[in-house]
Amino acid sequence: MKAWSGSAWTTAYNTGGGSALIATNNLSDLTNTTTARTNLGLGALATVTPGTGVATAAAAAIDATGGFISYATYQPASGKTLVVSNSITLAGTDSTTMTFPASNTTLAGLAIAQSFSKAQRGTISALTDGATITPDFSLANNYSVTLGGNRTLANPTNLTAGQSGIVIITQDGTGSRTLAYGSYWKFPSGTAPTLTTTASAVDALVYYVESSTRISARLVNDLK
């Protein structure tokens, strides 16, 4: 601030005797920082330091107001809890929403041993019937198909070692349908199995993916 001395303009300074803030103090001279944050509408999230975790007040603020943490990676500190309501939305090039099935839900980890206290299940993916049937093994573990003619079960796409499951094979109302197999399918003694060919018969092809080019399998015939 400039002041007129009577002969020239001079720079005037606040020496701290009044209530004005001094710029060089970078707001450290606020008498009540909590009230100041509230007045600015910042809330408790303004005090969160990247990588240090969310304290109880900040976690409550996220839950109650729908606030967000704008860090690419966020790890709550030891002993701290991140509280959310219903879902978390990750915004970016590919926006993703994680929805939690219930309150007090513990999420499973990919790299730890764990025991599930409820049954787990996957969708049964219906294969498209045709002269050549090519499963996409990225879609499910378990599959079903009703044969309307003599078919070939081709080598699946998107094979990953360790995947296992079952393919339920049903004859149509006519029956007498046969099934050949792609080169990746391997059977006991190297012999491809023969389907049950009566009308509406049901067989189960149980499989285990050994590698990207090998599937160990066995056919369980005539399930009734």
Query: pLDDT tens, 102-158?
Result: 666 777 788 889 888 889 899 999 999 999 999 999 999 999 999 999 999 999 999
Name the β-bridge partners of 145.
169
Q: What DSSP letter does each residue of 45-102 carry, written as one string?
A: GGGPPTTS---HHHHHHHHHH------SS--PPTT-----SSEEEE-SSS-EEEE-SS
- Residue 54: per-residue pLDDT: 45
Q: What pLDDT is attached to residue 36?
A: 79
Give SS3 for 157: strand
Query: Domain map of the chain by residue range?
Result: 23-99, 124-220
Distance CA 202, CA 172 (A): 10
Instruction: Please state, in angstroms and rounded to a whole number, the distance separating the CA atoms of residues 54 and 79.
Output: 10
The string of pLDDT tens digits covering residues 2-35 is: 777 777 877 766 555 566 677 777 777 778 877 8
Q: One-letter amino acid identity for 18?
A: G
Tokens 């149509």 appear where? 172
